[in-house]
A and B are shown apart, each in its own frame.
Chain A
């Protein structure tokens, strides 16, 4: 009885690990897609509107789902009482928020915060467009990775778990 339970536990663990990895692949692609959508909104609101950064962040938060939407809402909340530059706050958020993105993605996202709110409209817009381009590339690669490896991770997890369970049985 204990052996069967152990068998199922090992198999279940392997399967869960596979599904968790597959979910990470999909989540990274989804989060990058959300960031791209958020920065496209950010850039167009800067270019065509006269809204404060706090207002823009709240508008984005209302339209983008968690976790990126939540991140923008928290950023807007904190910005009202923030005594230093907005860029510093953004970098702090990027370092502290739990996201399923790679270190390279995170570095690009941090770049978006550099000089945030300190430049003229055109410069701010140009910088955001560059960040959007880079994020788009990351998103494409994340989607391709998710397409290739997510199912592999799932079936690998199931098969690996089963194999380990048989070996331990």
Chain B
């Protein structure tokens, strides 16, 4: 986690160091706003006695882009970039519209650094429920910061590496990491442990990526974060018809709230997932519903 410190200019780096090294407050996010105090969010919100000045902003932006903003155009358009260590930096600035669509972002000024934290082993209790001789398709449902991605990452690790304690053999696992958040790839290489038999398709749209991987990489398990677009349904159907287990997540407070979204409702009604795991903001999960397919 300390790798994130290298991206900050000196006054901020010094102020942050003790908090990051000791993981005080259980830091999840570091927020930077022009002319304002640096804020750290974890168990509580805490303001550091250091300002995010204009020169700090330029230095920070130069660091995170390696002085090469031009090569991150697509990521910037999406609103975030992933840096070494798998940390994700979201930002806001001035959107540049072309034909009514966001074509670029300029004057990036507000930053949210989400620290990637690996919590190896947190999926093991869940494995008892979703692994019976083979992995079964599971949908994780939870609000932001409920730990969906962390849990999904550990599921991928368990699928790809197996578990001798639980007699789970490693299987061919593919992570479709559209937002580079699960594996935290940097130049195509995962920065986080997603398993030994795991292949990662980085920065690719989920539905397209799932189709590509089913055809070319013969996966046993597909892992994808935050599904919900209409085209995801077709890709999920394709995967399940090919006998591939899918581990995915979706933003919602509960299964019923998720089902209010037409796409998720169709997915639930089609019985594409066998298990639904609902997470709350305290990062606790329950298997709320088991959909037994014929």
Contact = CB atoms under 8 A, between A and B. Distances in A.
B62 A86 contact: yes
A83 B58 CA distance: 9
Interface stretch (B25-33, B45-53, B67-75, B263-271): B67-75
Interface string B53-80: 0010011011101111111010000000
A121 B70 contact: yes
B143 interface: no
A118 B69 contact: yes
Interface in A132-163: none
Interface bracket on B = 10 to 19
Interface in A50-72: 50-54
B68 A83 contact: no
Interface bracket on A = 20 to 34
Interface in A110-140: 116-121, 124-125
Contacts of A46: 70-71
Given A83-B10, A120-B104, A51 B71 contact: yes
A76 to B, nearest CB: 10
Interface in A70-96: 79, 82-86
A68 B124 CA distance: 58
Contact of A82 (B10, B67, B69): B67
26 contacts: A49-B71, A51-B68, A52-B66, A52-B67, A52-B71, A54-B66, A54-B68, A83-B59, A84-B55, A84-B59, A84-B62, A85-B62, A85-B67, A86-B62, A117-B65, A117-B67, A117-B68, A118-B69, A119-B70, A120-B70, A120-B73, A120-B104, A121-B71, A121-B73, A124-B69, A125-B70
